[in-house]
Structure 1
Amino acid sequence: MVKKPGSQNTSGRGQRDLKVKVKTARGRKLSSTRWLQRQLNDPYVKRARTEGYRGRAAYKILELDDRFRFLVPGARVVDLGCAPGGWCQVAVKRVNALRERTSKAQGSVLGVDLQEMEPIAGADLYQLDFMADDADQQVRAWMGGKADVVMSDMAASSSGHKQTDHLRIIALCEAAAYFAFDVLEEGGTFVAKVLAGGAEGELQKLLKQRFTKVSNIKPPASRQDSSEKFVVATGFRAEI
């Protein structure tokens, strides 16, 4: 039995949290069992369910924004590869897209993904391949102008080979960066997920040419056993 918060331990050993254990079922791989057990015991997963976010990834962008303050009221945000929508949910609240704070400027959130998504109040969601030839023009048309923030939590499908996966996500991040160059307003911000692995040099060089500051950070919500980290590039220079 899992103890409820505030329940008393009558054994005299003191109160402690009990983890949910998952038995290996027939047909389920051991790795899948371990993943399921980790999910069931992940405090961020539990928080996401309680607070109405579509996944634990929402806390990564919350923590990044708490530090760098790019999701400000009035900001125009593009979320690339936005499914399932947790980052959009955070952005809607922070940029005041629903005008819940009448004394603050109203921002906007536009999300694009290859797959169709359930609607999110305050966000405009489109099914689009951001790497298509005219994707940047289409996004600017939908927004009615340029963006203040381009963010991406995308990751390429895992191959099971660490170095291959690293190269794939770096290529994806570089594509997102070039997209950002086309749609960002002067002084804008680019945020993207990368995987550590040794091939980030060219990406870092590219970003430092176009932004005044490039930071690399692993937010607390990012699992410690994961090689993921995030790049936050601020102060976009439209002309170099």
Structure 2
Amino acid sequence: MRNFLIKRLLQTHTSLQYAKQQPHNLKGKSKSSQDWLTRQLADPYVEKARMLNFRCRSAFKLLEIDDKYKILKPGDAVLDCGAAPGSWSQVAVERTNATGNIEKAPVGAVFSIDRLHFHAVPGATIFGGMDFTKPASQQRLREALGDRPVNCVLSDMAPNATGIRMLDQENIINLCYVVLRFAISMSAPHANLVVKVWDNGDVPKLERDILRFYEKVKRVKPRASRSDSAEHFLVARSFKGTQKESST
């Protein structure tokens, strides 16, 4: 029933009644705060997330990607990088059957890491207050995984914006390469990868580098991504493994 509701909501393009609300009690708030509140109330995905008990609207980005590209399945081991506040982990837990709610289906496992501390996600192993880019954090993840290879690596990570566009673009590309290197070292055959990028001139090279290790790479902008946002996601499918001549 829940999956049916999610599909119906993803197929709905018209705004909900709640989207017509206007913010109140704005006195004393900065213009940027007023603009954010107005945009939140005008965003149908915010209300959809509330209806389905997702922690934030970004859940619908992953739901749309998975519905189209089938990157998650029951029994998968998933790593969620930059997981706070946990909406992608919620989706991953549900789609991999990490809580065992789907009878007679394999039980998956979800490992979620973020520099911020965030509330537990039932069915996921949480590593809060840990920086994924640090070797010690990656070693903790390896220990938690044990001998289990990863079937899907997800990254919704983005660097703190400096306001210098070129630097911000360079920083997010660097994050993608950190995730790619870890995925290469820990992925099972035919595993999948999703990383967030901000559209810039370095993305085509990143795509080419990912294609050295995955059968297919697609640049995707889900409907839930705001139209004024430069974010896209690279969806890589079917990990090929490594070759001696390959390096990143």
TM-score range, shorter chain: 0.7 to 0.9
The answer to whether the Cα contact below 8 Å between 2:133 and 2:175 also exists between their aligned partners in 1 is no
Q: Which runs of 5+ in 2 are unaligned?
A: 1-15, 244-248
The answer to whether the Cα contact below 8 Å between 1:20 and 1:41 also exists between their aligned partners in 2 is yes
Q: From the CA coordinates, give the structure whose radius of gyration is larger.
A: 1
1:82 aligns with 2:83: yes
Shift of 1:114: 1.4
The answer to whether the Cα contact below 8 Å between 1:83 and 1:113 also exists between their aligned partners in 2 is yes
Q: Distance in 2 between matches of 1:74 and 1:138?
A: 22
Normalised TM-score (structure 1): 0.87
Aligned residue in 1 for 2:180: 177
The answer to whether the Cα contact below 8 Å between 1:214 and 1:234 also exists between their aligned partners in 2 is yes
Aligned partner letter, 2:80: D
Distance change >3 Å, CA 63–CA 141, structure 1 → 2: same
The alignment partner of 2:217 has SS state of: strand
Shift of 1:55: 0.3
Q: Distance in 2 between matches of 1:232 and 1:194?
A: 11
Aligned residue in 2 for 1:69: 70
1:232 aligns with 2:235: yes
Aligned residue in 1 for 2:214: 211
The answer to whether the Cα contact below 8 Å between 2:74 and 2:95 also exists between their aligned partners in 1 is yes
Shift of 1:223: 0.8
Normalised TM-score (structure 2): 0.85
Aligned residue in 2 for 1:132: 134
Aligned partner letter, 2:66: D
Q: Which runs of 5+ in 1 are unaligned?
A: 1-15
The answer to whether the Cα contact below 8 Å between 1:140 and 1:146 also exists between their aligned partners in 2 is no
Shift of 1:205: 1.9
1:199 aligns with 2:202: yes
Distance change >3 Å, CA 28–CA 167, structure 1 → 2: farther
Q: Which residue of the other structure, out of 125, 150, 155, is the alignment partner of 1:152?
A: 155
Q: Which residue of the other structure, out of 141, 144, 167, is the alignment partner of 2:143?
A: 141
Aligned partner letter, 1:177: L
Shift of 1:156: 0.8
Q: Distance in 2 between matches of 1:199 and 1:33?
A: 34
Greater CA drift, 91-100 or 177-186: 177-186
The alignment partner of 2:212 has SS state of: helix
Aligned residue in 2 for 1:112: 113
The alignment partner of 1:139 has SS state of: helix
Q: Distance in 1 between matches of 2:175 and 2:229?
A: 18
Shift of 1:222: 0.7
Aligned residue in 1 for 2:5: none
Distance change >3 Å, CA 161–CA 28, structure 1 → 2: farther
The answer to whether the Cα contact below 8 Å between 2:184 and 2:242 also exists between their aligned partners in 1 is no
Q: Paired residues, what number?
A: 225
Greater CA drift, 186-195 or 198-207: 198-207
Aligned residue in 2 for 1:3: none
Aligned residue in 2 for 1:9: none
Identity of aligned residues (%): 36
Taking only aligned residues, the RMSD between alpha carbons, in angstroms, comes to: 1.8
The answer to whether the Cα contact below 8 Å between 1:211 and 1:234 also exists between their aligned partners in 2 is yes
Shift of 1:186: 1.8
Aligned residue in 1 for 2:94: 93
